Amino acid sequence: MKKKFLLDTNTVSALAQKYAEHHIAVALKASALDNNDELYISIVSLYEMEYGARHAKNSRTALEMRTAIEAVKNSFAILGLTTDSAKIFAELKERYQQATGIGKKALIKHNVDFIIAATAIENKAIIVSNDCKMFSTIQKFQSDFQWEDWTQ
């Protein structure tokens, strides 16, 4: 059975950068997928990676990050933002706030994760991330949300 996987930014970075802490674990999981399975990234992950490259501590790290970005763009289908995922985003964010009691200001720092989760739901994809706390919470109240951590 074909599965779709949407890689969160932390997973994309681990896969694209050979020196990353979880590179080997993530690469092994990705290589063990069925040939019919599909890997995707969100356009938002590219935004985050571009920001990271722009603010790298030195030119060597910036070059490595630019190389990783180009590899990612050439290796994965990129899912964009849609009006349907915007509605899912709003619902997820509200339900997460109700489930956790987190304040509105603190909730803002998770906007990117909510956008990526909404994209996964809209595309019936399993999100791959090591953001265990947030995504395991969403999984408790959102029955069509699937999540895996490939770092373990």
User: Side chain identity at 34, as an amino acid letter?
Assistant: D
Position 132 scores a pLDDT of 83
pLDDT over threshold 90, residue 105: no
User: What is the DSSP code (8-state) at residue 60?
Assistant: H
Task: Tell me the C-alpha distance between 113 and 79, whole Å.
Answer: 14
The total of other beta-carbon atoms located within 10 Å of residue 131's CB is: 20
Structure confidence by residue, pLDDT tens digits, 53-92:
999 888 888 888 888 899 889 989 999 999 999 999 999 9
pLDDT over threshold 90, residue 106: no
Task: Tell me the C-alpha distance between 85 and 144, whole Å.
Answer: 13
User: Residue 56 belongs to what domain range?
Assistant: 1-152
Q: Which CATH number do you get for residue 147?
A: 3.40.50.1010
pLDDT over threshold 80, residue 1: no
Structure confidence by residue, pLDDT tens digits, 15-59:
888 878 999 999 999 999 999 999 999 999 999 999 989 998 888
List of E strands, 84-148: 126-128, 146-148
> 């910036």: which residue's tokens?
62
pTM score: 0.91
How many domains, the chain? 1
